C-alpha cells in the first residue's frame, strides 16, 4: 500500500513538475493524465530530437472491456506518440491507432498495467482513430486520460 501511495505521489509530482504546474493557471489535476505524462517522459526528455508534448488531452471513464475512440488529425512528415493512463494503478489499459478504414496502423505499441503507448509515423495526412480500451479494473468505472506528443 505504501509503495503504491509513494509511486502515485512520485508520478503526480513528476508530471506536475514537467508541466510546470503549481501556478495559479495550472491545469486540472487528473491522476490518469499524470501517469500518461510520466510514461511520456523518456520520449520528451531525449537529448536529440525529443517529442513535443501537447498540453491538450482527452479523458473520460470506462468499464472493463469497453473502448473509447478519439478521432484526431495527424500530419504526414510528423511522428506521434499517444500515451494512455488510468487513474487506478491496478487497472490495465491499452491504446492503438487505426486509419479511417479501420486498419491498425501504429508503428509500435506497448502496455504496462495502467499505462500504455502507441507510436505512429502517418503515411497520409488524415484523421486517424485512437482507440483506448480498459482491459481490467477492480473499481470500475475507471478514469482514463490520453496525451500525445509529436516531432
Q: Is 96 in the site for another protein (CB under 8 A)?
A: yes
Q: Is 61 in the site for another protein (CB under 8 A)?
A: no
Q: Is 124 in the site for another protein (CB under 8 A)?
A: yes
Q: Is 133 in the site for another protein (CB under 8 A)?
A: yes
Separation between Cα atoms, residue 127 and residue 59, nearest integer Å: 19
3-class SS at 48? Answer: coil
**Residue in 61, 113, 140, 141 binding another protein, rule: CB under 8 A:** 113
Q: Is 127 in the site for another protein (CB under 8 A)?
A: yes
Residues whose CB is less than 8 angstroms from the CB of residue 80 and which lie 6 or more positions away in sequence, other chains included: 74, 119, 120, 121, 122, 148, 149, 150
**Residue in 25, 48, 49, 139 binding another protein, rule: CB under 8 A:** 25
Amino acid at each position: 500500500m505504501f509503495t503504491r501511495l509513494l509511486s502515485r505521489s512520485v508520478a503526480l509530482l513528476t508530471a506536475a513538475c514537467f508541466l510546470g504546474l503549481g501556478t495559479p493557471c495550472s491545469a486540472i489535476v487528473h491522476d490518469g493524465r499524470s501517469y500518461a505524462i510520466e510514461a511520456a517522459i523518456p520520449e520528451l526528455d531525449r537529448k536529440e530530437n525529443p517529442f513535443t508534448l501537447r498540453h491538450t488531452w482527452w479523458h473520460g471513464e470506462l468499464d472493463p472491456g469497453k473502448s473509447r475512440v478519439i478521432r484526431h488529425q495527424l500530419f504526414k512528415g510528423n511522428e506521434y506518440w499517444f500515451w494512455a493512463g488510468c487513474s487506478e494503478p491496478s487497472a490495465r489499459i491499452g491504446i492503438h491507432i487505426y486509419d479511417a478504414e479501420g486498419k491498425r496502423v501504429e508503428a509500435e505499441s506497448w502496455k504496462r498495467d495502467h499505462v500504455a503507448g502507441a507510436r505512429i509515423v502517418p503515411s497520409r495526412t488524415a484523421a486517424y482513430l485512437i482507440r483506448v480500451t480498459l482491459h481490467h479494473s477492480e473499481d470500475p468505472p475507471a478514469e482514463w486520460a490520453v496525451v500525445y506528443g509529436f516531432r
